[in-house]
Structure 1
Amino acid sequence: MNFLIFAISAVVVVLAAVQLNRYGDVISQKSKLSGAVVGTFLIAGATSLPELTTSLTAVYIDNPDIAVGNMLGSNVFNVLILAAVDLIYRKQKMFNSIEQKQHLPSAIAGIIFTLVVVVSLFLDSTLSLFNIGIEMFILVGLYVLTVRFFENDEGEEMDEAAATGKDVSLKAASIGFAISAIVVFAAGSALSITGDQLAQQTGMSSSFVGSFLIAASTSLPELVTVLVAFKMGNYDMAVGSILGSNLFNLQLLAITDLFYQNGPILSATSGGNLPIALLFIGMMVLTIFMMVRKKVESFARYAAPSLLIVVMYFVSSYFLF
């Protein structure tokens, strides 16, 4: 029964999160608060709401491994999405077409942010301020610096939003957004609760459940975003949406830690989350390599790094399981 509830909840999260993204686009276009900054935060928050609600529920049921594993695992799954889609559409040679200068800063920032988490997990640091791990303040500070560094340029994304949402009124979009958010909250909570029960019943580790099963479910809206970007032929949007989502997910760790009352949340997790963080860094190194290398015409040579990312994911899943 728990498997059935878990599967249904995962489907509901995906469908509701897609609607969140759609209505968020419309609101950012039609409200008086429209603009690149508002759109960025609104859409980023909408897309990441499944991860946030799932992790907060995991905190409520006192399972920090699922809470942290969900965030780190979502980032790993996001990179897997990019590699898998790149393999499927290898004839388009996505990484040969993107503007690397637009994406390198966020890719490098993702590695730096995750290294902060790795160091904290490795040292099992208990340094805290207001019951929040000191590493969370570092993550937020680095994120603020990164955002200030970037130049916001979302013209094409906004044009797409206008095209997809021109028949939806602002009031209807606002109501739809609120309803979708409530549905995501309920389904995300069900994911955490049933995931915790599955871990207890099957003997699977909570870090595996959070990092792979739940993370894959909550990251499927990003897959939809990437596929839409490919349909538009906008490969920069596909890469940018994944890299931006990764940075935002790491910030949600700080919010999760804020609600965790038993000290710094990273110090309360098991060692199972450290390999996930290291796996993400390895996958991101390969992604950066694909960005900076010279254009490759051979299908086999071009696809090799993406194939390696996919293999790394499934091999890691096997050993962690």
Structure 2
Amino acid sequence: MTEIELVVARRESAADGVLSLTLRDPLGQELPAWEPGAHVDLLLGPELERQYSLCSDPADRSAWRIAVLREEHGRGGSTYVHEELGEGDKVRVRGPRNHFPLESAPGYRFIAGGIGITPLLPMLAAAEAAGAAWSLLYGGRSRASMAFTGELARYGDRVTLAPQDETGLLDLGPVLDGAPDGTLVYCCGPGPLLDAVEERCPAGRLRVERFQPKSQPTGSDTAFEVELARSGRVLTVAPRVSVLDTVRAAGVEVLYSCTEGTCGTCETDVLEGVPDHRDSVLTEEERAAGDTMMICVSRCRGARLVLDL
């Protein structure tokens, strides 16, 4: 996974409480390629890594743009970005990584809540360039809190802005009901919005990205074995201890970030055994295939897993 040091080239307000950062290579070199839906990890300090969606133009390899919502009751990442990262400062960045890719389709319904607009911005441009039929329903607490509305104005009536203090909760019916066959629904935002969309939209047509872990059914927390295929070592994963913590305690270096099953950093190939998926990243089809798992939260549906570690 690519890890580079970038410089904060520009800081500007994107909305009330939302800070937009433009990141560039200090020597002016091109940044790694990415596609709509990708995010990067900002390595802000020891045990302080946060994921942010890229919301610039993928064709512009000279810079990346992210937007950070200040969360007063968060875990410290957004406060650090808002208060400590100034123009000219350097920051380590890992990625890009994409678990929310824009699939080819004749039409799209995009639904954003708050800062969830960020991964959708480059998707809108891609859908427009492809000549697809699309629309965006974008909600937020207030108009002033909704980022990038000025950029969205160029799309005219394809975009519906719905500030909650003006229109109430998002009306999902007109967006989801009666969509033509083949239309895909892309949604990003707070958990209650995603849950509401999931209730109304067939799973095969819906693509979501969560910033917070989805509530998962409680499975078995009994012990099981994990074989590390590259070394042949066999480790015991104790109850209420994650696979990630178990392999790290054994001295195995693995990439990880959120430890909540939302970012996809620790995704690991499963060679044998059946995972007990508890992440908020994989689709139902990917879960059924059982080829990979997020080792920070997922466990085993049997006595043993063999992982590509």
- Bin of the TM-score, shorter chain as denominator length: under 0.3
Question: Is the strand fraction higher in 1 or 2?
Answer: 2
Structure showing greater Rg: 2
Provide the TM-score with structure 1 as the length reference: 0.24
Q: Which has the higher contact order (CA 8 A, sep 6+)?
A: 1
Question: Is the helix fraction higher in 1 or 2?
Answer: 1
Provide the TM-score with structure 2 as the length reference: 0.24
